């Protein structure tokens, strides 16, 4: 049986006692095992990070950027192999896996320019003979705790910025699909990153708690469910760490009466069902404004959804593949039933879907549910599967209120040809990321990613300048180089001013 070990100080860690199975979502079988670490394993990683980080931080920014350039080239050269590795453990189709890697690669590209954004500020003559300047310095040792649904993108969002700014970074990826994170660590070494700067430790809650409690780890970035994000944030902050914790989502797509419904249906099929709906930026709720809009949209959605192809992850004709585990499949199916019990109309039922030759795979067909209302638990909670709910709104004001009042505030989209309506919506909606005729409004790498409300805990977003701020701290220096006489001793006891 193949075993995925920790990647610590440039290699594996011996004498691991606990393991977890890595499943193949396409057939339900066990394809490998992953070592589950503990505080002792983390101590080894922290020791390696502590030994390597000072020299890495002292490396000039352009030399660090050259490592990032080489790392970028190696990811590109290994794109196909990484995508197949990712799909085999996650279940998403190869094209989607390449998209996963590419969105992470874009953050690596951003870090190649970090020598520019790491520059501080300078004021000459802030006072008589006094200059003031600031510098950004690394936190020291940071850690990332990442989910199963993006095993390349999210580790790269965190790790690339953390490393490029001079930190050592310890990654704890999901134990469900750990192979790609290990391979990224190998590619970092090949790119010239010193051993101990980017390490991977595997584990479950025991390892998460060890990271949150370790006194040498100064910052933790997390992505996962909102309940766990809240736990991670509170425990990490209580331990004196800087923490950003991204949680769940229930993103809405508002469809105005003037929207191009053919384009909307095409966008919804990709945004709601791509990657089997296992995205925090998926679009699982569509809000048509007005009865006529709802009926026209529903009529177009039904044939489009029925035409979607579900297949194994290597099927180049498939629109999406299986979900990640049997447990998650059962949970999605329970939510579908809950919505029906609450009064939702199941227009297309994806339960009971099987794929010939892969009957034990974790497949769910696309599901469409109409007449969902705001008092339903299935509306308030994240289903995280290939399920699209229709929540009808009578007017624009109601459409703005729906995502604004929801407990989650990750992303939202409005489909319209009316610039005034789009502008009003973007300004007023109480959500962190807004799309205008863009179904999945994930910002480009030089902007930042982050939601509001229970979708994010902490004050700093991921990647872009927000990521740079999270992984660094500002030091401000006020300097004077006096000449001539020492001056009046009495004035030395007065708080200095710059006037």
Active site residues: 280
> Exposed/middle/buried for 150, CB within 10 Å: 0-12, 13-18, 19+?
buried
Query: How far is Cα of residue 163 from the mean position of the Cα atoms in its chain?
Result: 17
Name the phi and psi angles at 186, rounded to 5.
-65, -40
Please give the span between the terminal C-alpha atoms of the chain, in angstroms, as a whole number.
72
Query: Residue 476 pairs with which residues in a beta bridge?
Result: 134
Query: Residue 11 pairs with which residues in a beta bridge?
Result: 8
Q: Are 379 and 395 in contact (CB under 8 A)?
A: no
Q: Are 430 and 453 in contact (CB under 8 A)?
A: yes
Q: What are the residues whose beta carbons fall under 8 Å from the beta carbon of 429, sequence distance 6 or more?
A: 400, 403, 404, 412
> Exposed/middle/buried for 406, CB within 10 Å: 0-12, 13-18, 19+?
buried
Q: What are the residues whose beta carbons fall under 8 Å from the beta carbon of 339, sequence distance 6 or more?
A: 346, 369, 372, 376, 378, 379, 389
d(CA 223, CA 228): 9
Q: What token pair was written down for 208?
A: 């998460």
Strand ranges in 394-460 using DSSP code E only, listed in sequence order: 408-409, 411-415, 433-436, 452-453, 456-457
Within a 13 Å sphere around the CA of 73, how many CA atoms are in the beta-carbon half? 9
Q: Are 421 and 464 in contact (CB under 8 A)?
A: no
Q: What are the residues whose beta carbons fall under 8 Å from the beta carbon of 309, sequence distance 6 or more?
A: 315, 317, 318, 319
Q: Which of 146, 160, 206, 169 is nearest to 49 (CA)?
A: 169
Query: Residue 144 pairs with which residues in a beta bridge?
Result: 171, 221
* CA distances, 217 to each of 97, 143, 341, 345, 365 (Å): 31, 7, 47, 49, 43
Q: Are 148 and 177 in contact (CB under 8 A)?
A: yes
Give the single-character DSSP code of 375. T
Q: What token pair was written down for 239?
A: 């331990």
């Amino acid at each position: 049986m193949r075993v995925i070990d920790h990647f610590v100080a440039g290699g594996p860690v011996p004498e691991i006692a606990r393991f977890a199975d890595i499943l193949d979502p396409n057939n339900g079988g066990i394809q490998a095992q992953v070592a589950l670490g503990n505080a002792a394993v983390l101590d080894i990683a922290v020791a390696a990070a502590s030994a390597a980080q000072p020299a890495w931080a002292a490396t000039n920014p352009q030399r660090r950027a050259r490592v990032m350039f080489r790392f970028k080239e190696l990811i590109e050269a290994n794109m196909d192999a990484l995508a197949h590795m990712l799909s085999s453990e996650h279940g998403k189709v190869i094209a989607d896996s390449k998209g996963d890697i590419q969105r992470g690669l874009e953050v690596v590209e951003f870090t190649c320019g970090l020598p520019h954004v790491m520059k501080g500020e300078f004021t000459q003559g802030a006072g008589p003979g006094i200059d003031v300047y600031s510098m950004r310095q690394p936190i020291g040792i940071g850690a990332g705790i990442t989910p199963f649904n993006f095993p390349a993108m999210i580790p790269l969002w965190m790790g690339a910025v953390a490393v490029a700014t001079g930190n050592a970074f310890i990654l704890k990826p999901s134990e469900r699909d750990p192979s790609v994170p290990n391979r990224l660590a190998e590619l970092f070494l090949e790119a010239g990153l010193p051993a101990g700067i980017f390490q991977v430790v595997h584990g479950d809650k025991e390892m998460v708690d060890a990271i949150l409690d370790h006194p040498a780890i100064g910052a933790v970035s997390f992505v996962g469910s909102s309940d766990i994000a809240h736990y991670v944030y509170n425990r990490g902050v209580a331990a004196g760490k800087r923490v950003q914790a991204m949680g769940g989502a229930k993103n809405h797509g508002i469809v105005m009466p003037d929207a191009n419904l053919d384009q909307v249906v095409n966008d919804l099929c990709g945004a709601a069902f791509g990657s089997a709906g296992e995205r925090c930026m998926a679009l699982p709720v569509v809000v048509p404004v007005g009865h006529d809009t709802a009926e026209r949209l529903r009529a177009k959605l039904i044939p489009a959804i029925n035409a979607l192809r579900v297949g194994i992850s290597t099927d180049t004709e498939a629109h999406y593949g299986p979900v990640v585990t049997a447990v998650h499949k059962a949970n999605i199916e329970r939510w579908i039933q809950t919505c029906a019990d609450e009064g939702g109309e199941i227009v297309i039922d994806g339960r009971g879907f099987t794929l010939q030759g892969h009957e034990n795979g974790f497949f769910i067909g696309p599901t469409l549910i109409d007449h969902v209302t705001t008092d339903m638990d299935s509306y308030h909670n994240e289903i995280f599967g290939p399920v699209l709910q229709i929540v009808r709104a009578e007017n624009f004001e109601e459409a703005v209120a729906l995502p604004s009042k929801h407990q989650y505030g990750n992303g939202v989209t409005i489909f319209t040809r009316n610039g005034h309506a789009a502008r009003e919506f973007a300004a007023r909606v109480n959500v962190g990321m807004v799309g205008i005729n863009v179904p999945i409004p994930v910002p480009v790498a030089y902007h930042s990613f982050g939601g509001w409300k229970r979708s994010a805990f902490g004050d700093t977003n991921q990647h872009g300048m927000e990521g740079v701020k999270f992984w660094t701290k500002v030091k401000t220096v006020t300097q004077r180089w006096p000449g001539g006489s020492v001056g009046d001793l009495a004035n030395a006891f007065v708080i200095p001013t710059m006037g």
